[in-house]
Structure 1
Amino acid sequence: MKAQITVLAALAVFVASPASAIQRLQTASRSCAEVQSFVRANRAVIVQYRSARGSAPLLYERAVANSDVCLGNGFAEETYVPAKDKRNCAILVCRSTTDLRP
């Protein structure tokens, strides 16, 4: 019985502790420099942004600081998202080395 209480107490502490989740950032409310700085500081961030067409719901990308953050055999490739001050703000995203690119 004592062991069960200890296990339940440990489980309660584990469930109550905050999760270590990836940060999210809406690019429309930040300057390009702020977006890039936030990505570098957090190493990997989910960026949310509106499509250039404007009619689509929010789009998402996993922005990374460099290729070291890419899982497995991926690499960091430059892409662009809209920011508060720039239409094309450069960020890095992971791509698989198995992706064939012309």
Structure 2
Amino acid sequence: MKAQITVLAALAVFATSPASAIERLQTASRSCADIQSFVRANRAVILQYPSARGSAPLLYERAVADSNVCLGNGFPEQSYVPSRDKRNCPIWVCRSTTDLRP
């Protein structure tokens, strides 16, 4: 009986908690400062941006505020996305320590 009450209480808490979806942002219409501020405010953001080569309609990158957002054995690495005012706006992304680099 006590276990059933605990399970029901846990389900009630889970059902009423808000979903934490990751925010998305298209970089082409935002300034570099806006992009960096948005990432800091949301901790982790999916950035959508046009390919420099034009081979794909949109590319995606998960930008993070700092290393605490990297999961598991990941580490922050600087990367760049295009913005309205800069060709290479610096952002931080998480890379796995198991990534092989040439």
When the two chains are superposed, the root-mean-square deviation of aligned CA atoms in Å is 1.9
**What residue number does 2:56 align with?**
56
Displacement of 1:20 in angstroms is 1.7
Fraction of identical pairs, as percent: 79
- Structure 2 counterpart of 1:33: 33
Match of 1:42 in 2: 42
CA gap of 1:100–1:23, structure 2 versus 1, over 3 A, is same
- Other structure's SS at 2:91 match: strand
Structure-1 residue corresponding to 2:82: 82
Q: How many equivalent residue pairs? A: 91
Report deviation, 1:19.
2.5
Unaligned 5+ runs, structure 2: 1-7
Which segments of structure 1 move beyond 4 Å, counting only runs of 4 or more? none
SS in 2 for 1:29: coil
Task: Report the Cα offset of residue 99 of structure 1.
Answer: 1.8
* Alpha-carbon shift at residue 54 of structure 1 (Å): 2.3
Provide the C-alpha distance between the structure 2 equivalents of 1:67 and 1:57, rounded to a whole number of angstroms.
30
Secondary structure of 2:28's partner? helix
> What is the one-letter code of the residue matched to 2:66?
N
